[in-house]
């Protein structure tokens, strides 16, 4: 444990899952036979997705269909969670979000998280500025302390089962200087990923926690000097402190610029998948359409609840569409829509899927889980989420994750449609 | 030794004022070279012999003594240096005066006393020494060796003229006639002189065995006609053990038939082509040659050492090879008699045909080559017809691909299609090396060696597609011909462009930014006093800027692009290559297409005129360029090209560059180069200008060569207005902040222009008909393959 914290998430519950796996999906086992359980009283709190409830029906024609297949009553274990995520196969609709170059992500957690994501067979995104900030890790005489981009890819690739998962490498406007994609695409090590169709590049247009802003990290003056040619530095913390704020430009996008950048990615990297990450802008639906029409394999939307290593407080509190509204504006789509923002357990995941997402990303929760247990924390967290998805899905009388719809949800205060 | 010879030697030596002589005068009659070999053979020993030559007499002597004392039946070798071989005695004298090293012993120009001392006590009745030289005019060599009490040498009027010399064959025949007569005359003074034919080793490689056997026999007959009575007949180990056994059996049969009345034996040469690089592979090949000698009843073996692939071997390495061969010979089993696949019949047909041409064998040989009745594959000598070709069949046997005018019509089944391309040729040249190295693969201890190979790539690029080692590549006749053709391409380009008033400029190598418009290729960063600079991926930005000085410019510019590994096997991609980069102010795309068509035609005419022999040697038919020279290059739009590819069942995307496979496919459909114009935005970098009338369509083009050679050149009108540059930079994912110097120029005004970059290795590949662009590069760097 390195002592990272995530006060906006139920950190204790996440750490419990990282330790105890599926046991943590239930109340304390020692209470069994002694206590009686029920819902916590009082008004629920949280965002719109938290407030929504999952509402199983009484009549379940799909369960009957499944029973025809099986010749017996279906059980939660019969639910099919396997799916496609942005061109990759995954055992469940979950992927590992990008951690950027922040100190939190740089403490070796990146490599441990990568190894566990690989073991789980879920796609993994590697953050935009890992290469400029932490290096690539190609030359043996200069290994970055956290393994660099290559260290993360290697940890993942060594663990991932055949036919599952994939690695997604982000690049933002200012990383273009470091040519992250060219570097990876021409690297001998990427060959095994390319040959098995398990490499994607993600164009980072923006992120949830600070829509309209570029990446930010707090750096020591020494470290800042080393990258001062690539990034602007801001004396936000005063000249008498040892720290400066590194600010990236988010890059300028118009409809045409986004379209052409996607075209160029497809043109230049024909064997890699193309992902586009959008911030929760008010035109997120339109932007997603443009990206898909240009040929993106997946659009990732980071809700305003999304986590980050550093952002101005005003952005955390006041800027950007909440995830539920993003989902509503994008709508259900044939192409992959991937979302993230405070997902850590099964119910929020299922709600996102019901509202049109193809998969959900684990960000801060994954980091905390790996921080709790570097060897298995993330695996346990995901096993727990998987169990909850199976239970919820079968409770809805559905046995394929693709079948969930908004009918399976109830939003307090909204007119019931039937 | 008789008094006459002693006198002759005394005469030579007296010039130096020296009176002490080697003890040879007291020896009884010295057995001939052939008698010594025969004695060993009678005792069941294979005679092994090195190819040894050192400039320094002391070292040469040490080598001869070490050979004599090796644990094997041996005879000695003095190999002469290359200057002596070509008769450049001034160069030898200069080198000796300067103390420079020579690659062999300078017998003719060396101090005769030093040579005499070198040989003193070395020569014994049981240890004769043969002089090896490679000269088309060995008269002085023969005179000198006789003066030194030596009486064995080797070569032949054909085998030391065609492959190694530019001397007319008729002249070499005359020199060799005189040399044979000089040598034969020495019989009167002592032991029987010996001459070995080199005809069975012609070119060293890729000559089907029947021709080798025929030449070996014919040269032996020539020697006999001019007085020699002690002759050995050579045959060099080729690519297939069974075929070699058949060939040597045929050779012995034909010797009995045509040269029955001389003392003769057969000498085998260990493989003379690209040699295995691993010590185990080299030893394995050597052992196979010893086995070949034993199985076929040959008496002598000329060995190679495991160092052969890398450098001139040391004395110790020579001795080790001799002893290894001797051991291998002792353990060789006899095996089954070889299968008759027609080598004997072919060789006999060739010999009979020559004998029918003229009673004088020298004249007959000259006429036979002039008419192409004898025709050595891959031999560039002007007196060789060069219409015959050999190839390696599936089993590794050397076969005829074309027989030219040789009288083999009914005896050879020539394949209907030409199985040998230039990659095939290279592959064939390396067949033996690969086979033996693979059998004896060793764990490389050198880390550099082990890093050379990147695992995933090894399986992706077959051995024939990748360059051989530097030495093999640079000494390959294919490389040399390709590079000469490339020279012609450059000369032709400069001639054409300078006539049109173009200014040639010297290319910048590094800069703060370079051309980003390169599909998936990584740029190379260099540290420029703490600033990140790039090696040029192309000089496009500088070309635009150069137009501030001149209206029409060009660069011959090197480019470095770390291309994706998948391109290593396309035959068209090199990580380091050269472009002829042309830019013209105020030009339209159409102007540039006209210019490029004119340039390419000029280059082709120039090459057809200047590189005739090299094209012929590479088997490139000049007729394939007829349509290029006669008809306009077609101009088809990108959408039409896509539609065409889709008709060919190729799933080409409409808004991307034509992919590599598509490019190859479409290129196979035509007989002359053509242009694809108007690529969609999103397929090219920001420098390619967008049409003002058709948004989304770029005013650019590619030039595609026919017959699958693919893209040779890209170009078009450029983006030059400041605001458009900023927009196009963003559309291509670039950060304008990097391009300060260029944008500053654009803000104050760049000239509208158009131009192109013509890939030099690709054009050479197309003109020479090579399989891969790397063959047109002396030091090729394929993506992902570590090489010098």
Q: What is the pLDDT of residue B6?
A: 37
Q: What is the pLDDT of residue B668?
A: 81
Of B456, B727, B735, the CB nearest to A188: B456
Which band of pLDDT confidence, cut at 50, 70 and 90, is reported for residue A100? low
A82 lies in some domain: yes
Q: What is the pLDDT of residue B440?
A: 56
Cβ(B601)–Cβ(B628) under 8 Å? yes
Q: What is the pLDDT of residue B76?
A: 95
Helix residue ranges, H only, B240-300 = 241-258, 279-296
Q: Across chain A, what does the average pLDDT equal?
A: 86
Each residue of A173-207: pLDDT tens digit? 766 666 888 888 888 777 888 888 999 999 999 88
Q: What is the pLDDT of residue B498?
A: 96
**Is residue A191 within 8 angstroms of chain B, CB to CB?**
yes
Q: What is the pLDDT of residue B245?
A: 93
Best B529, B533, B733 member to test A by mutation, with max A CBs in 10 Å, is: B733
| CA distances (Å), origin B111, targets A16, A267, B23, B105, B636 | 94, 71, 18, 11, 73
Q: How many other CB atoms are there within 10 angstroms of residue A226's CB atom?
A: 12
Q: DSSP letters along A157-174, please?
A: HHHPPTT---EEEEE-GG
Kindly list the residues from chain B whose CB atom is less than 8 angstroms away from the CB atom of residue A183. Answer: 522
Of A186, A254, A270, the CB nearest to B783: A186
Question: Which of B20-34, B426-440, B510-524 comes out lowest in average pLDDT?
Answer: B20-34
Helix residue ranges, H only, A189-301 = 191-195, 221-226, 255-268, 284-294
Each residue of B732-753: pLDDT tens digit? 888 888 899 999 999 999 999 9
Q: What is the pLDDT of residue B651?
A: 78
A122 lies in some domain: yes
Q: Give the C-alpha separation, B697 to B676, whole Å.
A: 13
Of A179, A203, A253, the CB nearest to B523: A179
Q: Which two tokens stand for residue A49?
A: 């997705």
**Final residue in a domain of this structure, among B288, B314, B348:** B348
Best A201, A268, A272 member to test B by mutation, with max B CBs in 10 Å, is: A268
Q: What is the pLDDT of residue B3?
A: 39
For chain B positions 645-704, those within 8 Å of chain A (CB to CB) are: 653, 655-657, 659, 680-683
Cβ–Cβ of B522/A256 closer than 8 Å?
no
Question: pLDDT above 90 covers what percent of chain B?
Answer: 57
A238 lies in some domain: no
Same domain for B582 and B730, yes or no, is yes
Same domain for B487 and B342, yes or no, is no
DSSP strand pairing (B503-505 vs B76-79): unpaired
Each residue of A364-404: pLDDT tens digit? 999 999 999 999 999 999 999 999 999 999 999 999 999 99
Q: Give the C-alpha separation, B362 to A352, whole Å.
A: 94
Question: pLDDT above 90 covers what percent of chain A?
Answer: 50
B431 lies in some domain: no
Q: How many domains does chain B have?
A: 2
Judge whether residue B464 has pLDDT over 60: no
Size of interface A-B (CB pairs under 8 A): 98
> H or E stretch including B130?
strand B129-132
Range of the domain at A314: 77-215+250-410
Q: What is the pLDDT of residue B2?
A: 39
Which band of pLDDT confidence, cut at 50, 70 and 90, is reported for residue B282? confident
The residue in chain A having the minimum alpha-carbon distance to the alpha carbon of residue B697 is A260
B233 lies in some domain: yes
Range of the domain at B705: 475-776
Distance from CA of B735 to the nearest CA of A (A): 6
Distance from CA of B570 to the nearest CA of A (A): 15
Which band of pLDDT confidence, cut at 50, 70 and 90, is reported for residue A138? low
Q: Give the C-alpha separation, B268 to B303, whole Å.
A: 9
Same domain for B47 and B194, yes or no, is yes
More confident residue, A141 or B692: B692
Judge whether residue B28 has pLDDT over 70: no
Kindly list the residues from chain A whose CB atom is less than 8 angstroms away from the CB atom of residue B566. Answer: 194, 271
Q: Across chain B, what does the average pLDDT equal?
A: 87
Judge whether residue B596 has pLDDT over 50: yes
For chain A positions 267-306, those within 8 Å of chain B (CB to CB) are: 267-271, 295
Kindly list the residues from chain A whose CB atom is less than 8 angstroms away from the CB atom of residue B454. Answer: 188
Q: What is the pLDDT of residue B218?
A: 97
**Final residue in a domain of this structure, among B322, B348, B374:** B348
Distance from CA of A281 to the nearest CA of B (A): 20
**In sequence order, what are the residues at sequence separation of 6 or more whose Cβ sits closer than 8 angstroms to the Cβ of residue B742?**
B513, B541, B544, B545, B725
Q: Which two tokens stand for residue A408?
A: 């399976």
Of B519, B565, B653, the CB nearest to A191: B565
Distance of alpha carbon B626 from the chain centroid: 29
Judge whether residue B333 has pLDDT over 80: no
Q: Give the C-alpha separation, B197 to A80, whole Å.
A: 80
A15 lies in some domain: no
Q: What is the CA radius of gyration of chain B?
A: 31
Question: Which of A91-105, B391-405, B563-577, B610-624 comes out lowest in average pLDDT?
Answer: A91-105
**Is residue B382 within 8 angstroms of chain A, CB to CB?**
no
Cβ–Cβ of A177/B731 closer than 8 Å?
no
- What's the CATH number where A405 sits? 3.20.20.70
Of B454, B735, B784, the CB nearest to A176: B735
B620 lies in some domain: yes
Cβ–Cβ of A183/B564 closer than 8 Å?
no
Question: Which of A141-150, A382-391, B236-245, B426-435 comes out lowest in average pLDDT?
Answer: A141-150
Of A182, A254, A270, the CB nearest to B521: A182
Stretch A323-331: mean pLDDT, rounded?
A: 94
A205 lies in some domain: yes
Q: Give the C-alpha separation, A4 to A103, whole Å.
A: 10
Cβ–Cβ of A191/B456 closer than 8 Å?
yes
Determine what percent of chain A falls in helix, strand and coil, rounding each to the nearest 5: 40, 15, 45
B700 lies in some domain: yes
Stretch B760-765: mean pLDDT, rounded?
A: 97
Distance of alpha carbon A181 from the chain centroid: 20
Q: What is the pLDDT of residue B18?
A: 37
Q: What is the pLDDT of residue B252?
A: 94
- What's the CATH number where B703 sits? 3.30.930.10
Of B454, B520, B681, the CB nearest to A268: B520
| CA distances (Å), origin B453, targets B259, B332, B458, B468, B772 | 52, 36, 7, 13, 20
Stretch B210-226: mean pLDDT, rounded?
A: 96
DSSP strand pairing (A409-410 vs A359-362): unpaired
A22 lies in some domain: no
Q: Which two tokens stand for residue A32?
A: 């069994």
Q: How many domains does chain A have?
A: 1
Q: What is the pLDDT of residue B392?
A: 86
**Final residue in a domain of this structure, among B329, B348, B367:** B348
**Is residue B519 within 8 angstroms of chain A, CB to CB?**
yes
Q: Which two tokens stand for residue B54?
A: 């050192």
Q: Is B263 helix (H, G, I), strand (E, B) or coil?
A: strand
For chain A positions 193-252, those within 8 Å of chain B (CB to CB) are: 194-195, 203, 229, 249, 251-252
Best B564, B738, B785 member to test A by mutation, with max A CBs in 10 Å, is: B564
Residue with tokens 């031999």: B379
More confident residue, A292 or B787: A292
Stretch A289-310: mean pLDDT, rounded?
A: 88
Judge whether residue A308 has pLDDT over 80: no
Which band of pLDDT confidence, cut at 50, 70 and 90, is reported for residue B73? very high
Q: What is the pLDDT of residue A176?
A: 67
Cβ–Cβ of B520/A259 closer than 8 Å?
no
More confident residue, A224 or B226: B226
Each residue of A66-93: pLDDT tens digit? 888 888 899 999 999 999 999 999 999 9
Distance from CA of A176 to the nearest CA of B (A): 6
More confident residue, A244 or B19: A244
Q: What is the pLDDT of residue A214?
A: 81
Of B566, B682, B738, the CB nearest to A267: B682
A97 lies in some domain: yes
Question: pLDDT above 70 covers what percent of chain B?
Answer: 91
Question: Which of A124-133, A383-392, B157-166, B175-184 comes out lowest in average pLDDT?
Answer: A124-133
A151 lies in some domain: yes
Judge whether residue B216 has pLDDT over 50: yes
DSSP strand pairing (A199-204 vs A273-278): parallel
Q: What is the pLDDT of residue B442?
A: 38
Each residue of B528-553: pLDDT tens digit? 998 889 999 999 999 999 999 999 99
The residue in chain A having the minimum alpha-carbon distance to the alpha carbon of residue B785 is A188
Which band of pLDDT confidence, cut at 50, 70 and 90, is reported for residue B112? very high
Q: Give the C-alpha separation, A168 to A190, whole Å.
A: 11
Q: Give the C-alpha separation, B107 to B92, whole Å.
A: 10
Packing angle of the helix pair B169-185, B139-147 (nearest 10 deg):
20
B782 lies in some domain: no
Each residue of B653-688: pLDDT tens digit? 887 888 877 887 888 888 899 999 999 998 889 999
């Amino acid at each position: 444990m390195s002592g990272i914290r995530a006060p906006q998430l139920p950190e204790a519950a996440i750490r419990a899952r990282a330790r105890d796996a599926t046991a943590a999906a239930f109340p304390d086992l020692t209470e069994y036979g002694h206590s009686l359980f029920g819902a916590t009283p009082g008004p629920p709190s949280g965002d719109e997705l938290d407030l929504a409830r999952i509402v199983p029906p009484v009549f379940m024609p799909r369960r009957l269909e499944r029973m025809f297949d099986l010749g017996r009553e279906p059980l939660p274990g019969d639910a099919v969670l396997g799916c496609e995520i942005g061109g990759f196969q995954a055992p469940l609709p979950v992927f590992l979000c990008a951690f950027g170059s922040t100190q939190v992500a740089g403490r070796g957690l990146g490599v441990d998280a990568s190894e566990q994501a690989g073991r789980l067979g879920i796609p993994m995104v590697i953050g935009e500025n890992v290469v400029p900030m932490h290096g690539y890790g190609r030359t043996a005489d200069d290994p970055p302390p956290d393994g660099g981009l290559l260290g993360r890819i290697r940890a993942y690739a060594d663990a991932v089962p055949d036919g599952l998962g994939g690695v997604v490498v982000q690049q933002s406007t200012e990383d273009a200087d470091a040519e992250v994609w060219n570097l990876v695409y021409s690297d001998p090590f990427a060959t095994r990923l390319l040959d098995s169709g398990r490499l994607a590049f993600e164009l980072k247009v923006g992120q949830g926690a600070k829509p309209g802003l570029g990446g930010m990290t707090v750096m020591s003056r020494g470290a800042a000097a080393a990258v001062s040619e690539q990034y602007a530095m801001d004396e936000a913390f005063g000249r008498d402190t040892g720290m400066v704020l590194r600010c990236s430009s988010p890059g300028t996008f118009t409809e045409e610029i986004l379209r052409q950048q996607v075209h160029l990615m497809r043109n230049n990297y024909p064997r890699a998948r193309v992902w586009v990450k959008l911030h929760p802008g008010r035109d997120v639906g339109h932007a997603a359409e443009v990206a898909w029409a240009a040929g993106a394999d997946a659009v990732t939307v980071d809700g305003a609840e999304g986590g980050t290593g550093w952002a101005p407080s005003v952005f955390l509190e006041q800027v950007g569409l909440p995830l539920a509204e993003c989902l509503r504006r994008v709508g259900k789509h044939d192409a992959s829509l991937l979302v993230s923002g405070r997902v850590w357990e099964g119910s929020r995941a299922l709600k996102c899927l019901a509202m049109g997402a193809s998969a959900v990303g684990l960000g801060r929760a994954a980091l905390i889980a790996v921080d709790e247990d570097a060897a298995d924390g993330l695996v346990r967290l995901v096993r727990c989420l998987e169990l909850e998805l199976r239970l919820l899905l079968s409770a809805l009388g559905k046995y394929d994750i693709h079948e969930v719809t908004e009918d399976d949800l109830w939003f307090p205060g909204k007119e019931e449609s039937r | 030794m008789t008094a006459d010879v002693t006198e002759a030697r005394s005469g030579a030596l007296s010039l130096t004022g020296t009176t002490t002589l080697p003890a040879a005068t007291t020896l009884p009659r010295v057995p001939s070279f052939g008698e010594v070999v025969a004695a060993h053979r009678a005792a069941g020993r294979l005679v092994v012999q090195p190819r040894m030559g050192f400039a320094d007499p002391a070292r040469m002597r040490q080598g001869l003594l070490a050979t004599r004392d090796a644990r094997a039946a041996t005879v000695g070798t003095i190999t002469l240096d290359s200057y002596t071989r070509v008769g450049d005695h001034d160069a030898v004298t200069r080198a000796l005066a300067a103390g420079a090293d020579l690659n062999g012993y300078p017998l003719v120009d060396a101090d005769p006393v030093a040579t005499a001392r070198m040989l003193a006590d070395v020569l014994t009745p049981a240890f004769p020494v043969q002089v090896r030289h490679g000269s088309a005019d060995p008269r002085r060599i023969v005179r000198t060796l006789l003066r030194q009490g030596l009486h064995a040498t080797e070569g032949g009027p054909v085998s030391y003229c065609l492959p190694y010399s530019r001397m007319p064959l008729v002249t070499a025949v005359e020199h060799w006639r005189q040399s044979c007569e000089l040598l034969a005359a020495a019989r009167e003074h002592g032991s029987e002189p010996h001459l070995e034919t080199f005809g069975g080793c012609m070119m060293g490689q890729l000559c089907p065995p029947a021709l080798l056997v025929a030449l070996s026999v014919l040269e032996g007959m020539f020697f006999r006609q001019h007085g020699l009575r002690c002759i050995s007949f050579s045959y060099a180990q080729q690519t297939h053990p069974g075929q070699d056994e058949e060939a040597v059996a045929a050779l012995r049969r034909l010797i009995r038939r045509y040269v029955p009345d001389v003392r003769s034996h057969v000498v085998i040469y260990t493989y003379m082509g690209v040699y295995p690089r691993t010590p185990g592979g080299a030893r394995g090949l050597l052992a196979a040659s010893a086995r070949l000698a034993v199985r076929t009843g040959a008496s002598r073996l000329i060995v190679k050492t495991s160092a052969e692939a890398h450098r001139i071997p040391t004395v110790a390495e020579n001795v080790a090879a001799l002893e290894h061969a001797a051991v291998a010979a002792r353990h060789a089993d006899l095996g089954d008699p070889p299968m008759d696949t027609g080598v004997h019949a072919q060789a006999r047909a060739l010999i009979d045909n020559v004998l029918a041409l003229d009673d004088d064998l020298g004249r007959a040989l000259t006429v036979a080559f002039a008419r192409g009745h004898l025709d050595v594959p891959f031999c560039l000598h002007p007196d060789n017809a060069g219409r015959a070709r050999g190839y390696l069949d599936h089993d590794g046997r050397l076969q005829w691909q074309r027989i030219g005018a040789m009288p083999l019509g009914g005896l050879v089944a020539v394949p209907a299609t030409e199985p040998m391309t230039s990659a095939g040729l290279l592959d064939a040249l390396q067949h033996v090396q690969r086979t033996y190295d693979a059998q004896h693969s060793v764990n490389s201890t050198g880390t550099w060696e082990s890093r050379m190979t990147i695992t995933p790539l090894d399986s992706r690029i077959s051995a024939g597609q990748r360059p051989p080692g530097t030495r093999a590549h640079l000494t390959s006749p294919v490389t040399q011909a390709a590079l000469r053709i490339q020279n012609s391409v450059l000369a032709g380009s400069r001639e054409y462009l300078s006539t049109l008033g173009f200014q040639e400029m010297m290319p910048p190598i590094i800069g703060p930014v370079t051309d980003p418009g390169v599909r998936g290729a990584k740029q190379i960063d260099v540290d420029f006093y703490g600033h990140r600079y790039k090696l040029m991926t192309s000089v496009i930005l500088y070309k635009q800027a150069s137009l501030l000085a001149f209206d029409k410019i060009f660069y011959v510019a090197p480019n470095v692009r770390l291309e994706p590994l998948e391109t290593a096997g396309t035959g068209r991609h090199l990580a380091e290559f050269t472009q002829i980069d042309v830019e013209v102010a105020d030009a339209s795309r159409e102007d540039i297409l006209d210019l490029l068509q004119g340039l390419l035609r000029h280059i082709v005419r120039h090459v057809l005129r200047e590189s005739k022999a090299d094209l012929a040697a590479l088997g490139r038919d000049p007729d394939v360029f007829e349509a290029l020279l006669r008809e306009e290059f077609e101009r088809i739009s990108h959408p039409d090209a896509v539609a065409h590819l889709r008709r060919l069942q190729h799933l080409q995307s409409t808004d991307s560059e034509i992919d590599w496979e598509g490019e190859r496919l479409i290129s196979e459909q035509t007989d002359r180069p053509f242009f694809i114009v108007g690529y969609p935005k999103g397929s090219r970098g920001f420098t390619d200008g967008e049409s003002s009338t058709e948004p989304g369509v770029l005013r650019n083009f590619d030039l595609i060569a026919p017959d699958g050679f693919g893209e040779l050149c890209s170009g078009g009108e450029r983006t030059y207005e400041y605001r458009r540059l900023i927009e196009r930079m963003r559309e291509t994912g670039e950060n304008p902040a990097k391009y300060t110097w260029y944008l500053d120029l654009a803000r104050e005004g760049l000239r509208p222009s158009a131009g192109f970059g013509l890939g030099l290795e690709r054009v050479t590949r197309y003109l020479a008909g090579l399989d891969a662009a790397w063959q047109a590069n002396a030091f090729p760097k394929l993506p992902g393959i570590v090489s010098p």
